[in-house]
Structure 1
Amino acid sequence: MTAAAKDQVRLLNDLGVRPGAAGTPAVDLGRGPGLQSLALAELGYSPVRTMWPRCCATRPGASPRAADWRSATAT
């Protein structure tokens, strides 16, 4: 896990997000590089789904597949 993702774990803890019980899903609304998805997975949430709004998928350089749901896993 990157230092930036670890910072997000600390931020989520500071905001009151606590480790999820096994099988507790989470959703990242997908407006950035995915650091919150990694942090949620590190906190035990599973599955973590990321959804890019269609407005983001149509930005120059964005892949059309980026609008699909994706899973994050902690490593």
Structure 2
Amino acid sequence: MLDGDAFAHEIAALLIADIKTSGARTHGELEEACRISLASLLGDTAIPPQIAVLMPIGLDRWPRVVVKGRPLPDV
């Protein structure tokens, strides 16, 4: 695994933990939790291009965090 990939996986794992503990329940709250978490984790650093957060259309599922095309466990 490349250093950039390892960094992206670490950030993604921390993002998942932050979302789970945020108490967010609505789509807007989930988006805000993601923004706050990424700002806290990365500061002014750009979000690694390998990371994507896929928001569900309905609220019956949690967002999925994907690193370089490999989905991580559901949040």
Whether TM-score is above 0.5 comes out as: no
Q: Normalising to structure 2: TM-score of the pair?
A: 0.29
Greater share of helix residues, 1 or 2?
Answer: 2
Larger radius of gyration: 1
